[in-house]
Amino acid sequence: MAGCCAVLGAFLFEYDTPRIVLIRSRKVGLMNRTVQLLILAYVIGWVFVWEKGYQETDSVVSSVTVKAKGVTMTNTSKLGFRIWDVADYVIPAQEENSVFIMTNMVITMNQTQGFCPEIPGKTTVCETDANCTAGSAGTHSSGVATGRPAFLRAAENFTLLVKNNIWYPKFNFSKRNILPNITTAYLKTCIYDAKTDPFCPIFRLGKIVESAGHSFQDIATEGGIMGIQIKWNCNLDRAASFCLPRYSFRRLDTRDTAHNVSPGYNFRFAKYYSDPNGAEHRTLIKAYGIRFDIIVFGKAGKFDIIPTMINIGSGLALLGVATVLCDVIVLYCMKKRYYYREKKYKYVEDYEQGLGNQMDQ
């Protein structure tokens, strides 16, 4: 009980105040300056220069439209000679931030509704009427395979014109990826190339897939999903002409060679028509192709006094870490730690109490 009272009394009636002790030691002084320099390098180099801690930032708001171009032809026993243009292979005609290009197909022509024999199987062989449920249907169907390579293998030469408008609402700054120096004549001839023409907004499909490290013919046969990434990182303390888009490409659908179940990307759709007798027919198409998703991201920054002062204050506070680290090493790790403790700490009794003891003597 007495021990607890002593601890409580020490807590209530004692006061600690810092004491400045100048230690003349090359080892300790060099360590202190080294830690301070590292902290300054972090604050200046990383926080202010690299991360631009003096700026207020905003995230991008974006809109995208895509226009495909390209014509090819096929000549098969089923379809005969046929020309394919945008209206045939872009399905649907418009999507939000993406476009689907059909590159392969399985087609079944002149389908009509009626009665036909089914492939024998556990769920299709009926001994009595009770075995066959009215309205039931299987999930698989047959069609005319076009073989390998991809049916529209010339699609790698098709092009996409990507129009991207961005806006940073906090700074009321807007721009588009068709830069002010780009003319109509230039758009008719340019093709994006990372080295020779990095700001052309027209992309060749084969080049997109190649830049992502894949073969166009492989992905065109089974289908897949490609990402066109547009990065806008803008330093608005500089001229607006320095705010430029950066393009990159990657494949988005999983390609696990060890477990490659249901690969690619495909779907079915039908085109309906009626013969002269009024009977309804349809052409069923299982379309394989590449969906191109346009992904826009980035941020803009501009000088602001509030984040500047906050980061300066944080940097000054971090400098105190050097003192704390040196105190720990000097007082607890060095050989002369007991000597430094005697110099660091001094115990002083209450003045009035000390004066009263002297008068009693």
**Ranges 10-19, 307-316, 338-347, most confident:** 307-316
Q: 18 pLDDT exceeds 60?
A: yes
- Higher-confidence residue of 123 and 335: namely 335
Over residues 85-96, mean pLDDT: 90
- Higher-confidence residue of 65 and 335: namely 65
Its pTM stands at 0.75
Over residues 17-34, mean pLDDT: 80
Let me know how long the chain is: 361
Q: What stretches of the chain adopt beta strand conformation (E)?
A: 55-59, 61-69, 72-76, 80-84, 98-111, 144-145, 159-168, 173-176, 202-204, 224-235, 246-251, 266-274, 280-303
Q: 122 pLDDT exceeds 80?
A: no
For the chain, domains (ranges, CATH) are: 15-54+305-347 (1.10.287.940), 57-113+142-254+263-303 (2.60.490.10)
The answer to whether the CB of 184 falls within 8 A of the CB of 113 is: no
**Confidence band for 147, pLDDT divided at 50, 70 and 90:** very low
Burial of 274 (0-12, 13-18, 19+ CB in 10 A): exposed
- Higher-confidence residue of 69 and 323: namely 69
- Higher-confidence residue of 323 and 200: namely 200
**Confidence band for 143, pLDDT divided at 50, 70 and 90:** very low
Per-residue pLDDT at 156: 92
**Dihedral angle computed from the Cα positions of residues 34, 39, 42 and 45, in that order, rounded to the nearest 10 degrees:** -70
What does the pLDDT look like over 58-84, one tens digit per residue? 999 999 999 999 998 888 777 788 889
Q: Which amino acid is at 239?
A: A
Angle at CA of residue 207, ends 91 and 152, nearest 5°: 40
132, 347, 348 from 15: Cα distances, Å: 93, 10, 10
Per-residue pLDDT at 9: 64
Which range has the worst mean pLDDT, 36-45, 323-332, 346-355?
A: 346-355
Residue where the block lists tokens 């990182």? 233
19, 117, 131, 185 from 128: Cα distances, Å: 101, 16, 6, 72
**Confidence band for 131, pLDDT divided at 50, 70 and 90:** low
178, 240, 246 from 184: Cα distances, Å: 10, 22, 21
Per-residue pLDDT at 42: 93
**Confidence band for 52, pLDDT divided at 50, 70 and 90:** very high
| Average pLDDT of every residue of the chain | 83
Q: 134 pLDDT exceeds 70?
A: no
Alpha-carbon span 203 to 158, nearest angstrom = 8
Alpha-carbon span 239 to 41, nearest angstrom = 28
Alpha-carbon span 127 to 306, nearest angstrom = 82
**Confidence band for 145, pLDDT divided at 50, 70 and 90:** very low
Query: Residue 117, preceding bond cis, omega within 30 degrees?
Result: no
Per-residue pLDDT at 6: 67
Residue where the block lists tokens 């999983």? 254
Q: What stretches of 169-217 adopt beta strand conformation (E)?
A: 173-176, 202-204
- Higher-confidence residue of 335 and 194: namely 194
Per-residue pLDDT at 124: 59
Alpha-carbon span 160 to 124, nearest angstrom = 46
What does the pLDDT look like over 257-305, one tens digit per residue? 666 677 789 999 888 888 888 888 888 888 999 999 999 999 999 999 9
| Burial letters 111-142, b for 16+ CB under 10 A, else e | eeeeeeeeeeeeeeeeeeeeeeeeeeeeeeee
Per-residue pLDDT at 173: 96
Q: Using N-to-C axis directions, what is the helix angle for 305-332 and 337-344, rounded to 10°? A: 120
Over residues 202-213, mean pLDDT: 94
